[in-house]
Structure 1
């Protein structure tokens, strides 16, 4: 009989299954002993747990990216699912042990996302922006359609970067239909490229970490550099208005300097991109948190949402009122 998955266990239920160590942090408890703060992952989601009194051998053994056999009990701590670990060991050779088999995937196939994004590329009728977008998509194609959009928070799953990009493009289409004053090709080009630097900022979809470049430069600076490199390859004038406008779209998309943008939006399209980026990321964060929350309760506090927790209403019964 196959193991249940992480998020199919109920609170209070004993757990025994294979899972991926998504994140591992060594910490020191109040008693001075080291412990491991762990995040386990499989295709149903992720759950945290603490491995107390970790020895040097345990720290060496249980590293991010390794598959383990986990035994314990599902609990809830401050609104978040947690496992009280009773037993933990590395997967044996005759057990499922390929990390890629345990990661959460985007709700769309990579090929479908690529097809839909490529359709939008045809709508970028400005040839400078079109050629830069096509150049960079081709250069980073494999990573762009497999990487997550973040280590934590929003779209932190395989294919999350492309799925987040596609979601913003869908929102952009709706906004363009509502407001004829928006330069649609500029908005679409900025949307496709705005997070492309994450293919260098992040390590990949399995046990995602920030790279040296990611920590030191950040994805905004990285993708701006990629645009400059593309322009040099394509023989485009870096001082031309088309190039400057596109670079501003990227540099301003976090909206505020304290959030990582070196400049604030000074174009209509840049402000729209910032707002759509915020909207999609926020909805994904809230949805993920609420899905892990029991009806009638508040979920975990979301640091990226000003520390707020969100309520999950009692789910309605078929043909009847909400559960009381």
Structure 2
């Protein structure tokens, strides 16, 4: 039976073709060079260190390269890792495709698309509804294929749509509980808030930031897309409805130091920020816990202020969660 990367148990030796997801040249305390790497295939991701590396190794074994990995799965401080024996670059003539090595969101793209469309029907404001429909159609393929981030959260194929669906479910719960919430505005904000990542990121394989992503960022990029859509749809560019929608996406990071040019000044904008942060945090923590043995702490999770989280020895609820990365 063919075994994938995460199908191996501790102590088992492995030899299989994988994708280098990340590779960074670092120094040990004694000054020796090594590559801190992570490998992935359709089963998920695992880390490993390539010791006694040099500049040529760093140039050869970089992110996005398909390699044959020879090594052994081990455990280090409660975390799985690969002890690397050797790496060999796999050539294009060997017939492998990058898509074979990309972990996908735990829900089917077709199902997420159908669910998002159901929420679109509940956006009753015509300005917001038309813009959301226009941009979903314009960026359909990328929106449902792209990750929501390079590494922090939902960094899988379809992760952007999965993050959006999860936020919409949270938004529905809040809108059902608090009648003062403008459901249409909150739903529109959830769908559009991260859509700029279809321009900020390169795609689901060995994800990197584009030049636009580095220089402008997804908050401003989606604001530009909203304005372009409004122009093409002949929507009044001075209308308050358009202004409110733009405020939703521009303020959704919640703080200046997190990249928002404005702080939330609408109830729905504040809720959008909190839902976004909640869903990203739950995903990041759950993903780290799933890579940690019961009775151990996770590695430091940088998106959570560098904190570690404990996985209880008896942890039935985590087993019910979707397997993430």
Alignment partners' CA distance in 2, 1:83 and 1:238:
55
Residues 205-244 of structure 1: matches in 2 within 5 Å?
A: 205-244=204-243
Q: 2:294 matched to which residue of 1? A: 295
TM-score by length of 2: 0.91
More deviation, 56-65/264-273: 56-65
Alignment partners' CA distance in 2, 1:107 and 1:25:
28
Q: 1:320 matched to which residue of 2? A: none
Q: 2:62 matched to which residue of 1? A: 63
8 A contact 1:18–1:96 mirrored in 2: no
TM-score by length of 1: 0.92
Residues 78-117 of structure 1: matches in 2 within 5 Å?
A: 78-91=77-90, 97-117=96-116
When the two chains are superposed, the root-mean-square deviation of aligned CA atoms in Å is 1.9
Q: 1:162 matched to which residue of 2? A: 161
Q: 2:25 matched to which residue of 1? A: 26
8 A contact 2:79–2:293 mirrored in 1: no
Please give the secondary structure, in 2, of the residue aligned with 1:145: helix
Alignment partners' CA distance in 1, 2:33 and 2:289:
32
5+ residue gaps, structure 2, are 317-325
Q: 1:189 matched to which residue of 2? A: 188
More deviation, 276-285/86-95: 86-95
Q: 1:7 matched to which residue of 2? A: 6
8 A contact 1:5–1:42 mirrored in 2: yes
Q: 2:246 matched to which residue of 1? A: 247
Please give the secondary structure, in 2, of the residue aligned with 1:23: strand
**1:221 CA displacement:** 1.0
**1:78 CA displacement:** 4.9
Please give the secondary structure, in 1, of the residue aligned with 2:26: strand
Equivalent pairs counted in the alignment come to: 316
More deviation, 7-16/88-97: 88-97
Alignment partners' CA distance in 2, 1:255 and 1:93:
45
Q: 1:39 matched to which residue of 2? A: 38
Q: 1:119 matched to which residue of 2? A: 118
Alignment partners' CA distance in 2, 1:221 and 1:308:
30
**1:26 CA displacement:** 3.1
Check 1:123–1:62 CA distance in 2 against 1; reply closer, same or farther (3 A cut).
Answer: same
Please give the secondary structure, in 2, of the residue aligned with 1:199: helix
Alignment partners' CA distance in 1, 2:299 and 2:152:
12
Alignment partners' CA distance in 2, 1:171 and 1:276:
7
Alignment partners' CA distance in 1, 2:315 and 2:160:
33
Question: CA-to-partner distance for each residue in 1:213-237, whole Å, 9 max, x for gaps?
Answer: 1111111111111111111111222
Please give the secondary structure, in 1, of the residue aligned with 2:231: helix
**1:14 CA displacement:** 2.5
Alignment partners' CA distance in 1, 2:59 and 2:267:
51
**1:56 CA displacement:** 4.8
Alignment partners' CA distance in 1, 2:37 and 2:211:
22
**1:240 CA displacement:** 1.2
**1:107 CA displacement:** 1.1
Alignment partners' CA distance in 2, 1:311 and 1:56:
37
**1:95 CA displacement:** 5.7
Question: CA-to-partner distance for each residue in 1:112-160, whole Å, 9 max, x for gaps?
Answer: 1111111111111100001111111111110000000001121100000
5+ residue gaps, structure 1, are 318-324
More deviation, 234-243/182-191: 234-243
Please give the secondary structure, in 2, of the residue aligned with 1:273: helix
